[in-house]
Amino acid sequence: RGHAKATGKSGPAPKAADKRRRLAENREAPSAPSSGADAAPRAPPILPELRGAVSKVLLRYGPPGGGSAAAKAFAARVVGEGAPPDSSVSVVLQASNALQAEWTRLSKSGVPDKEKKFRGKVARLQLCARVREAVAAIDAGRWQPPAGMSASEAGLPPWWRPRAHDVALLQGTARHGFGAYGDMFRDAELFG
């Protein structure tokens, strides 16, 4: 009432409306009915420790590749980042899939700041997937460096040998994670 008397406008006060809008934005999509023959099982919530660890690994290495070895390696990295040690591979993969779906949904939320943040996360996942594809092509002997600028034109240091160091950077990103340049440069197989 105070808001209506002070402004001459009817409706809830701005703070209350903002709070309801924020709550509605953060709500999950409506879930399936919980009873009946057609009810889909509802996924359990992701534990905070697991959510944080999966998020770190996704942003550093990208989504797990195909195959059980890649899934096990992804789960081991997640446990190494602080997930509960008894987290099974299937639970880690479910959490990974749920976070990726959430990030994609939030990147289209209609809230500019939120969209920008989550579009960046989705773009990072896509970049990590492209790095993994390039490394597979390198391993298969069919990778070609992109045509473009010379090392000096690109602002790279004079010691940079484009083909050799580009390959090492791609392999290092796949092995050590996005942005782990110190680990990459200390890896004798890459920059020895």
Task: Note the pLDDT tens digit of each residue in 143-159.
Answer: 887 777 677 677 888 88
Full-model pTM: 0.71
Q: How far apart are CA 25 and CA 96, in angstroms?
A: 21
Q: What is the DSSP letter of 31?
A: P
171, 135 in Cβ contact below 8 A? yes
Q: Which of 161, 172, 162 is nearest to 128 (CA)?
A: 172
Q: How far is CA 51 from CA 20, 58, 60, 94, 163, in A?
A: 25, 10, 14, 11, 38
**Residue 108 phi, psi (nearest 5):** -120, 30
Q: How far is CA 64 from CA 9, 46, 60, 79, 183, in A?
A: 53, 18, 11, 14, 21
- The CA radius of gyration of the chain, in Å to the nearest whole number, is 23
Q: What is the DSSP letter of 156?
A: -
Would you put residue 64 in left (φ > 0), alpha (ψ -120 to 50) or beta? beta
Is the CA virtual torsion 80, 86, 89, 92 positive or negative? negative
State which H helix or E strand residue 10 sits in.
none
pLDDT on residue 157: 87
pLDDT on residue 18: 55
**How do the pLDDT tens digits run along the chain, 192 residues long?**
444 454 555 555 555 555 545 544 444 433 334 444 555 455 668 889 999 999 999 999 999 988 899 999 999 999 999 999 999 999 999 999 999 999 999 999 999 999 999 999 999 999 999 999 999 999 999 988 777 767 767 788 888 888 888 899 999 999 999 999 999 999 999 987
pLDDT on residue 191: 84
